Amino acid sequence: MPRLAPGKLVIATHNAGKLKEIQALLAPYGMECLSAGELGLGEPDETGLTFVENALIKAQAAAEASRLPSLADDSGLCVDALKGLPGVYTADWAEAAIYEGGPRRDWYMAMGKVEGKLAELGPDVSRDCHFACTLAIAWPDGTHAVYEGRAPGALTWPPRGTLGFGYDPVFVPTGYDRTFAELDPAEKHKISHRADAFAKLVAEQFSA
């Protein structure tokens, strides 16, 4: 399997928040991160039924279009009482409307949808959940590597905090009393599902 060398790496995302997190995690390794958005690459249909399948779809599409090594992240919130939902449909639950240029995502609506479904199950329902992250690297020659991570926690309501993105304002990581959206980004990066997956990636890709 090829290994990443310092240089250009396409991050297969149009999500500015996700790009910023990935750039911060890769900065120590000499990677020049370019987003799929700034390269004008389209977003492939995520037809997979798992995080691994969707991450590979995005990474392989970006590598083929750019002819550069590409990294894709597929991540989501998995709620125990909802049998793992929203899971791979995490972003879909936030799609509020279609406007010229693509879908508009309303994360407050998505958080409310999760809370509403839990409320339907009764006041004593478990609020345990975890964030899952799959990182896929694809090279133009078709080879790939996959790394999976998770961050356990519980849901809170109402949302708290203005940092982070997505479902961060309702997710309290295990061992903390603050949501991801209340944590300093540097602190979040140390314990997030993405950090867990990146630790595995770094151990294989950048270790001596």
154-203 pLDDT tens trace: 999 999 999 978 899 999 999 999 999 999 988 998 899 988 999 999 99
For residue 47, give Cα distances in angstroms to 43, 54, 55, 87: 12, 7, 10, 13
First to last CA, the chain: 15
pLDDT at residue 43, rounded to an integer: 85
Instruction: Report the CATH number at residue 160.
Output: 3.90.950.10
User: Which residue has better confidence, 161 or 98?
Assistant: 161
Looking at the domain assignment, is residue 1 inside a domain? Answer: no
pLDDT at residue 68, rounded to an integer: 94
Residues in the chain: 208
The total number of structural domains that make up the chain: 1
Looking at the domain assignment, is residue 67 inside a domain? Answer: yes
Cα separation, 193 vs 110, in Å, equals 20
Q: Are 169 and 161 in contact (CB under 8 A)?
A: yes
Residue 79, strand partner residues: 129
Cα separation, 113 vs 76, in Å, equals 15
Residues 34-63 have pLDDT tens digits of 899 888 888 888 888 999 999 999 999 999
Residues 114-135 have pLDDT tens digits of 999 999 999 899 999 999 999 9
Residue 147, strand partner residues: 135
Looking at the domain assignment, is residue 45 inside a domain? Answer: yes
Residue 91 confidence class, pLDDT cut points 50, 70, 90: confident
Q: How many other CB atoms sit within 10 Å of the CB of residue 99?
A: 8
**Closest among 143, 141, 138, 147 to 60, alpha carbons compared:** 138
**Closest among 151, 138, 167 to 18, alpha carbons compared:** 167
- In the three-class reduction of DSSP (H, G, I as helix; E, B as strand; rest coil), residue 16 is classed as helix
Q: What is the DSSP string of 114-145?
A: HHHHHHHT-TT---EEEEEEEEEEE-TTS-EE
Looking at the domain assignment, is residue 145 inside a domain? Answer: yes
User: Which residue has better confidence, 207 or 111?
Assistant: 111
Taking all residues of the chain, what is their mean pLDDT, rounded to a whole number? 90
Looking at the domain assignment, is residue 28 inside a domain? Answer: yes
For residue 102, give Cα distances in angstroms to 2, 39, 95, 98, 108: 35, 17, 10, 6, 19
Range of the domain at 178: 7-205
pLDDT at residue 141, rounded to an integer: 93
The answer to whether residue 74 is catalytic is yes
User: Which residue has better confidence, 2 or 74?
Assistant: 74
Active-site option among 45, 73, 74, 196: 74
Report DSSP state, residue 172. E
pLDDT at residue 102, rounded to an integer: 55
Looking at the domain assignment, is residue 2 inside a domain? Answer: no
